[in-house]
Structure 1
Amino acid sequence: MDWKFTSEKDLANTFNNTIDPFWEEQVSRGHFAGKGDVDVHYAWCIPDTPRSTIVISSGRIESYLKYKELVFDLYQNGFAVFILDHRGQGLSGRMTHDPQHGYVAHFDDYVDDLVYFTQNIVVPKQQGRLQLLCHSMGGAIGALTLLRLPTLFSKAVLASPMFGIKPALPNWLANSLITAGLAVNKLRKQQSGYFFGQTPYIAYPYSLNKLTHSKTRYGLFRALYDEERRIQLGGVTTEWLCAAHGAMNTIEKSAGAITTPSLVLSADNDAIIDNKRQRRVVGQMPNARLVVIEKAYHEIFTESDDLREEAMTKVLDFLAAT
């Protein structure tokens, strides 16, 4: 199918003249009280006669504001789109004394929010089939959601899913470091604290980034976070890492029960995700197809045009197929 995608060429002007006005005119926003009364923010848009309805589960540190280009592309190609900011990041509420702490008590809290969002906000407005699109940490949340409610979504796309993270440590060492980090926080009488080596938000220059080959898209991402400081997030807390470790182990042990037809995009040069573990997990998913995006860094949906268009074409072909 002949899909239409935005281009890196003159992308700043495209944002000013097309994407930002689209967000002002076509995208609605809201929020709900998630588990424990944490404020969860979301956005949505519905074109005329949509092909299907897509729910986006984004990655760590991300906000729906970072997804403006992707949401625009999906809408232009006839898809209704709903996206939420996970608790503890983006525009959603924080749960610790430091708003930059990457924190969650348990990944099931993310899943509870996503399920509530889907069932109570998306489904009443749904047109066509209900489909899931995930990136990175959002892929772990998505996989846990598919385990809990196998028939909620007709299809799922998992891009660079967080089924394992680098450095890939043996369980005993990971558990020892997490236990030590939790003990330090307890001694300090803190609800949460950065894991060893983690820091508040740092805007790394493009030359040091391992997220995307697109200097243009990386620059727009950093400019957004400079402008919208409330969405800035620092490194992970020991509590988040403990929750993530448990979630990834659950996903690997239960992968055979993830029966939703799924397309998994694996970024070949991913510096964040442990691709060996990721691909091992995908190999156990009975209805999953793995596609490796050669040379791609972690952020497949903000990659350079050649890599992004390859991935986006595979995604939309998969979602549009009957």
Structure 2
Amino acid sequence: MSDAPLFDDIAKGPPGGRAFWRMASDGVRVRLAHWPRPDGSPRRGTVLLFPGRTEYIEKYGLIAAELAERGFDTLTIDWRGQGLADRPDNERALGHVDHFDEYQLDLAQMMALATELDLPRPFTMLAHSMGGCIGLRALHNGLEVAGACFSAPMWGIILSKPVRPLAWGFSWALHRSPWKLALSPGTARQTYVLAEPFDDNMLTTNAQMWDMMRDQAKAHPELTLGGPTAGWLFAALTEMRELASMAAPNVPAVTWLGTNERIVEPAPIHALMARWPNGRLEILQGFQHEVIMEAPEVRSRVYTSIEDLAQGRKTTSAA
């Protein structure tokens, strides 16, 4: 375990944050960060924060600060292929894995670090988008958490009409070829928040959070990421199909989904939460993909659900 950079200038996390390098079992280096709760605050455990695709540790500094006020430590990660973690593409613009099992190797380092730092229990998962796909697999693999809070989990991907019929065939044909690092159709190398205007963006309705993400991308472009590779797309489609065929894990769960979701498919979320016996689906009218990058009152509702999970309060299905 060695210290890694943590860009406090853009993260605005709680005091005492620290980042670490860890080497996964296959030799890929990932970055992790721990933000502690303030001394004297309630001891409610640790939130294991699983970011989405294209994301990086510093994006969640404000979230960690708000969780710290409620008595939670936060441990989060740069998954391989994004943030400051190792990337296979020399231009560092594209996110890639050959198989989603690789993310579980990163998660193993996250859990090992939690043990080494002796972080307070219980552990509660907060998983956004692609992190929700990784987190769901982790629950099936026996990850020990008091509960799971999902934000627009990637259990299906919305593909444009021209791309949809080609996605499986295109990605399958390239995923084992020298062109597996080719950019997926309909995506770009530039990070989304710098390529698109706030008006009609697909992430958030909150202009302040949008500006924060843009400012971070401008200040530290080395953290940003463009579109996925063909290999990543095939790996994601394969993983989501496998997960959809499995029963819901026996773990309390709350899933948050905006009615204006345009990135992940809502139907698989509704389907899984409908059969999750100790789960609840919360629908947010008028909100978009980045539920925890929305207004403070929306974030507060998510944090309250994390408190409920950590304290073992009953969760019933409302799907």
Question: TM-score scaled by structure 1?
Answer: 0.85
CA-CA distance at 1:191 after TM superposition: 4.8
* RMSD value, Cα: 2.4
Does residue 1:241 correspond to 2:233, yes or no? Answer: yes
Does residue 1:200 correspond to 2:189, yes or no? Answer: yes
Does residue 1:159 correspond to 2:148, yes or no? Answer: no
Matched AA of 1:311: V
Secondary structure of the residue that 1:139 maps to in structure 2?
Answer: helix
CA-CA distance at 1:281 after TM superposition: 2.0
How many correspondences in the alignment? Answer: 298
Cα distance change of structure 1 residues 165 and 275 upon mapping to structure 2, 3 Å threshold = same
**Corresponding position of 2:302:** 311
Does residue 1:178 correspond to 2:171, yes or no? Answer: yes
2:140 to 103, 126, 147: 147
1:215 to 201, 207, 211: 207
CA-CA distance at 1:97 after TM superposition: 2.8
Aligned mates of 1:241, 1:211 — CA distance in 2: 20
CA-CA distance at 1:53 after TM superposition: 1.4
**Corresponding position of 2:34:** 44
Aligned mates of 1:259, 1:319 — CA distance in 2: 15
Secondary structure of the residue that 1:131 maps to in structure 2?
Answer: strand
Gaps of 5+ in 2: 1-7, 314-319
Aligned mates of 1:211, 1:155 — CA distance in 2: 25
CA-CA distance at 1:107 after TM superposition: 0.8
Gaps of 5+ in 1: 1-14
Cα deviation per residue 1:5-32 (whole Å; 9 max; x = unaligned)? xxxxxxxxxx98x973x55x41111010
Cα deviation per residue 1:115-147 (whole Å; 9 max; x = unaligned)? 2311x1102412121211100000000000001
Matched AA of 2:249: I
Matched AA of 1:291: E
CA-CA distance at 1:181 after TM superposition: 4.7
Residue identity over aligned pairs, in percent, reads 25
Cα distance change of structure 1 residues 88 and 178 upon mapping to structure 2, 3 Å threshold = same
Does residue 1:267 correspond to 2:292, yes or no? Answer: no
Does residue 1:84 correspond to 2:74, yes or no? Answer: no
Cα deviation per residue 1:31-53 (whole Å; 9 max; x = unaligned)? 10114211100110223452111
Question: TM-score scaled by structure 2?
Answer: 0.86
Aligned mates of 1:181, 1:284 — CA distance in 2: 35
**Corresponding position of 1:7:** none
Aligned mates of 1:123, 1:291 — CA distance in 2: 32
Aligned mates of 2:305, 2:180 — CA distance in 1: 43
**Corresponding position of 2:317:** none
Aligned mates of 1:182, 1:155 — CA distance in 2: 34
Does residue 1:27 correspond to 2:17, yes or no? Answer: yes
Cα deviation per residue 1:162-207 (whole Å; 9 max; x = unaligned)? 0011028899753223234548xx4xx4451101122111411211
Secondary structure of the residue that 2:254 maps to in structure 1?
Answer: strand
Aligned mates of 1:278, 1:71 — CA distance in 2: 26
